[in-house]
Amino acid sequence: MKKVLFMALMATMTLGLVAQKPARVPAYKGIIERVQPNGDTLQTYLIGDEHKHWMTTADGWLIKENEKGWLVYMTEKKDGSVQATCRKAHNEAQRSKCEKRWLEKKGTKKK
């Protein structure tokens, strides 16, 4: 009888552990200094968790690392999705006037 109760208890505990969804782990909250391939540094934030996440500049512009290792700005397409551009990201203080104008017109800022 004790053996049956023990086995039933173990089965219940095992099923309880399997049924639980793992907790989401939030992204690191602090600024992360990333180094571009040319040696420039860029201050970035990670937002989200392991299932849904994105990266932004310190002032909120969406960025992504491209296949060559550069962090580039994202732009919103007509269907609402975002895509990487060829524009290399910079810290706010290092942006040219042209880059600032482009961001205001075509850049995507995380709200």
Tens digits of per-residue pLDDT, 41-62? 999 999 887 788 899 999 999 9
Reduced to 3 states (helix: H, G, I; strand: E, B; else coil), residue 49 is strand
Q: pTM (2 decimals)? A: 0.75
Tens digits of per-residue pLDDT, 1-38? 667 666 666 666 666 555 556 667 777 889 999 999 99
User: With 70 as the cut, is the pLDDT of residue 75 above it?
Assistant: yes
User: Does the CA dihedral 36-96-75-53 come out positive or negative?
Assistant: positive
Tokens 């060559």 appear where?
68
Measured from the Cβ of residue 34, the count of other Cβ atoms closer than 10 Å reads 16
Q: Rounded CA gap, 109 and 59, in Å? A: 9
Q: Rounded CA gap, 76 and 93, in Å? A: 24
